[in-house]
């Protein structure tokens, strides 16, 4: 399965292991994402490539659920957050 797989396929594949609430889902997904990131980096995939792929997969997911207008509005808000310094990286990181 991948980002292009219909949501219904994910629901069927994960029904038995589904967390019971939003916070449990977020925590589980955070752990899975961190493991993915570490595994990809340990295989030599550059961080900027992992990040770019992650952002693109996220955009496709948001677009599929909310449509073009809402996704574009969300990305405009995110761009302003980046410009205002809400996201920052320590020098040398």
Residue 4 scores a pLDDT above 50:
no
Number of domains composing the chain: 1
Q: Is the model's pLDDT at 70 over the cut of 50? A: yes
Q: Is residue 64 part of a domain?
A: yes
Indicate whether 93 belongs to any domain.
no
Tens digits of residue pLDDT in 20-68: 788 999 899 899 999 999 999 999 999 999 999 999 999 999 999 999 9
- State mean pLDDT over 72-87: 94
Evaluate whether residue 63 is within a structural domain: yes
Does a structural domain hold residue 41? Answer: yes
> What long-range pairs does 32-40 form, CB within 8 A, spacing at least 24?
none
31 assigned to some structural domain: yes
Q: Is the pTM of this model over 0.85?
A: no
| Cβ partners under 8 Å of residue 42, min gap 6 | none
Q: Kindly state the DSSP code that residue 20 receives in the 8-state scheme.
A: S
Q: Is residue 35 part of a domain?
A: yes
pLDDT value at 91 more than 80? no
Comparing CA positions, the residue from 76, 30, 33 lying closest to residue 53 is: 33
Q: Does residue 37 fall inside a structural domain?
A: yes
Q: How far is 38 from 32, CA to CA, in rounded Å?
A: 10
Range of the domain at 53: 22-84
Rounded Cα distance, 71 and 77, in Å? 10
pLDDT the model gives residue 88: 79
């Amino acid at each position: 399965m991948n980002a292009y797989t219909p949501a219904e396929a994910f629901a069927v594949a994960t029904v038995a292991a589904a967390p019971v609430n939003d916070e449990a889902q977020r925590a589980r997904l955070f752990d899975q994402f961190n493991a993915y990131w570490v595994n990809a980096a340990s295989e030599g995939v550059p961080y900027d490539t992992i990040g770019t792929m992650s952002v693109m997969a996220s955009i496709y997911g948001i677009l599929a659920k909310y449509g073009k207008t809402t996704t574009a509005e969300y990305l405009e808000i995110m761009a302003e957050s980046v410009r205002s310094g809400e996201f920052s990286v320590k020098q040398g990181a």
